[in-house]
Amino acid sequence: MTRNRLIVYCVSLALVLAAAYGLQTRQIYVSSGELAHVFTDLHELSVEANLIVFGTFTDRTKFVDTPWNKDSKVKIVLHEFKPIRMVKGSLDQPVWVGVYGMKQYDKWIGAVNQALYTPGSTYVLFLQESIAEFGPGLHFYWTVGAYQGSFRVRDGKVWARSELGESDSTKVTATGQDLESFLGRLKDQ
């Protein structure tokens, strides 16, 4: 093999391995295994959710190692969410909502083009109970379909996170619908 062909072969092999590694590591960001599924409407999100809740994020946050890769920079970032009103299911106390996050330049950011939650922000969340064991007494929920089951409430209007630039685009949108109308639509699901 000539030197140039060997270089081309090595570079090609490196690219294939890097792509395979990227695909493999991308899986650690999947929330409840649903990132690959694109939800088409609120009914579909509602069916998958154990809870649908309107509430506010508190300033309490926990960081949990991913059990499959304790040396990873990626952690599960748990945000405490205090319910204001339940649409589906029942809660009488705050719950932890998980998002995959990573530390970049001494700041925590969300993984998979998803912003972390801000304390004091209000949302309507479609939540699915975590079925994995992450430690004794650690019970939390994921948003259905990663960021697809997360709707930001601002000034009484509801927006999909993608509509605010906080995540990748989604098919399910709220486009500034009035909160009461949005919650009423959900009760009819």
Each residue's pLDDT tens digit, 131-183: 766 666 678 898 888 788 899 999 999 988 777 776 666 677 788 899 999 99
Tell me which of 108 and 50 has the higher pLDDT: 50
Tell me which of 104 and 178 has the higher pLDDT: 178
Report the predicted TM-score, pTM, of the whole model to 2 decimal places. Answer: 0.74
Domain of residue 181: give its range.
42-187
Q: In CATH, what number is assigned to the domain containing residue 122?
A: 2.40.50
Is residue 114 assigned to a domain? yes
Q: What is the pLDDT of residues 27-59, one digit of tens each?
A: 223 333 334 578 888 899 999 999 999 999 999
pLDDT band of 10, cuts 50, 70, 90: very low
Is residue 1 assigned to a domain? no
Is residue 119 assigned to a domain? yes
Q: How many structural domains does the chain have?
A: 1
Is residue 120 assigned to a domain? yes
Burial bucket for residue 82 (CB in 10 Å: 0-12, 13-18, 19+): middle
SS3 159: strand
30 alpha carbon, distance to own chain's centre = 8
Supply the mean pLDDT for the chain.
74
Is residue 8 assigned to a domain? no
Closest to 117 (Cα-Cα) out of 161, 157, 73: 161
Is residue 33 assigned to a domain? no
Is residue 65 assigned to a domain? yes
Is the per-residue pLDDT at 8 higher than 70? no
Is residue 113 assigned to a domain? yes
Is the per-residue pLDDT at 126 higher than 60? yes
Q: Determine phi and psi for 63, rounding to 5 degrees.
A: -120, 130
Token pair 């890769």 is found at 69
Is the distance from CB of 100 to CB of 112 less than 8 angstroms? Answer: yes
Mean pLDDT of 92-118: 74
